[in-house]
């Protein structure tokens, strides 16, 4: 898809339009910028256009009044400010953030989100640019809470859930701890998907397929409490998470598709690697500052 084709598609799209998978970082960045423009557009004052039409219709009769109104509206428009506030964590870091409406945002390692802090009360929309988050949303039926990622839009009123969207992962995840979550734009489907507590949506980028599966609700927010819980998870994903969590480069010398069920308490990287050795016969060594995992 060329740049202009992507632009045409996005300019015509709305929230029910399927979102294509982005093949590279350039398209991912473009997608994020377009999402932010859309979020800002929701709070732009509509009054100026309507008043200008009235001014144009009656300009000959009330010229002086019209000039006054134009100047007044220009002054009022100048007061509208869009404050793009960004929260970010580095590798080896996590944060707990209280959003302006009282909702809690947990930002896990190597993650980044943006929001308009100046208009958050009436426009609760958040852009997950990179990483993994858990959100405990304060209920407000008049102002839905939306999270935008590179491939879907998540909409809730008041619930708690986890979203994972790392650019170098081969999938995207949404897992619900409490309440209900609506997901749109996923897997080129026009219909909206609904997830209940204890359900997880996994979308595979390569195949364009998605699956809804059960997830233990106690595992969904386990990272908040210092635990990494995996059930039949690919070794490659496990090592990626350990790499981000401990801020160390880890390479895998065996097929990353092997699956393991394991829980880490994050006491130390050495202890976690020893647990992999116990359950799977994996060994590790440090070579030039990089941890190599092998058999």
Q: Give the pLDDT band (50/70/90) at residue 83.
A: confident
User: Tell me, what's the pLDDT at 189?
Assistant: 66
Q: Where are the domains of the chain?
A: 3-42+81-220, 47-78, 226-294
Question: Is pLDDT at 289 greater than 60 in this prediction?
Answer: yes
User: pLDDT, tens digit, for every residue of 63-80?
Assistant: 444 444 444 434 443 444
pLDDT at 171 over 60: yes
Instruction: Tell me which of 54 and 139 has the higher pLDDT.
Output: 139
Fold of 3-42+81-220: Jelly Rolls (2.60.120)
Above 80 in pLDDT, residue 4?
no
Grade residue 39 by pLDDT with cuts at 50, 70 and 90: low
pLDDT recorded at residue 199: 97
For 226-294, the fitting CATH number among 3.55.50.30, 2.140.10.30, 3.30.420.40, 1.50.10.20 is 3.55.50.30
| Average pLDDT taken over every residue of the chain | 81
Kindly provide the b/e burial profile for residues 119-134, where b requires at least 16 CB atoms within 10 angstroms of the residue's own CB.
Answer: bbeebbbbbbbbbbbb
Q: Record the pTM.
A: 0.75
Give pLDDT, residue 41: 57
pLDDT of the residue at 15: 42
pLDDT at residue 89 above 70? yes
Higher pLDDT, 291 or 30: 291
Provide mean pLDDT across the span 251-271: 91
269: pLDDT strictly greater than 70: yes
Average pLDDT, stretch 41-51?
50
Q: What is the pLDDT of residue 35?
A: 58
Which pLDDT band, with edges at 50, 70 and 90, does 234 fall under? very high
Residue-wise pLDDT for 94-146, tens only, equals 999 999 999 999 999 999 999 988 888 888 999 999 999 999 999 999 999 99
Which carries the bigger pLDDT value, residue 77 or residue 237?
A: 237
């Amino acid at each position: 898809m060329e740049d202009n084709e992507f632009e045409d598609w996005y300019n015509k799209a709305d929230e029910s339009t399927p979102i294509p998978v982005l093949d590279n970082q350039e398209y991912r960045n473009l997608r994020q910028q377009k999402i932010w423009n859309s979020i800002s557009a929701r709070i732009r004052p509509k009054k100026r256009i309507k008043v200008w039409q009235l001014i144009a219709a009656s300009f000959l009769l009330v010229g002086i009044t019209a000039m006054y109104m134009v100047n007044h509206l220009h002054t009022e428009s100048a007061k509208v400010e869009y404050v793009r506030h960004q929260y970010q964590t580095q590798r080896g870091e996590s944060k707990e953030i209280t959003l302006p409406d009282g909702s809690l945002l947990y930002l896990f390692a190597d993650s980044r989100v943006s929001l308009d802090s100046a208009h958050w009360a009436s426009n609760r929309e958040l852009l997950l640019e990179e990483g993994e988050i858990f959100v405990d949303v304060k209920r407000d039926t008049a102002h839905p809470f939306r999270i935008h990622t590179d491939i879907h839009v998540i909409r809730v009123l008041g619930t708690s859930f986890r979203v994972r969207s790392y650019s170098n992962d081969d999938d995207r995840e949404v897992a619900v701890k409490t309440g209900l979550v609506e997901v749109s734009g996923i897997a080129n489907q026009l219909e909206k998907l609904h997830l209940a507590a204890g359900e997880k949506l996994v979308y595979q980028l390569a195949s364009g397929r998605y699956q809804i599966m059960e997830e233990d609700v106690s595992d969904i927010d386990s990272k908040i409490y210092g635990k990494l819980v995996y059930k039949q998870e690919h070794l490659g994903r496990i090592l990626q998470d350990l790499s981000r969590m401990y801020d160390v480069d880890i390479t895998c010398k065996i097929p990353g598709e092997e699956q393991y069920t394991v829980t880490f308490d994050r006491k130390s990287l050495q202890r976690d690697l020893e647990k992999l050795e116990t359950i799977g016969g994996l060994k590790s060594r440090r070579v030039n500052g990089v941890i190599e995992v092998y058999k």
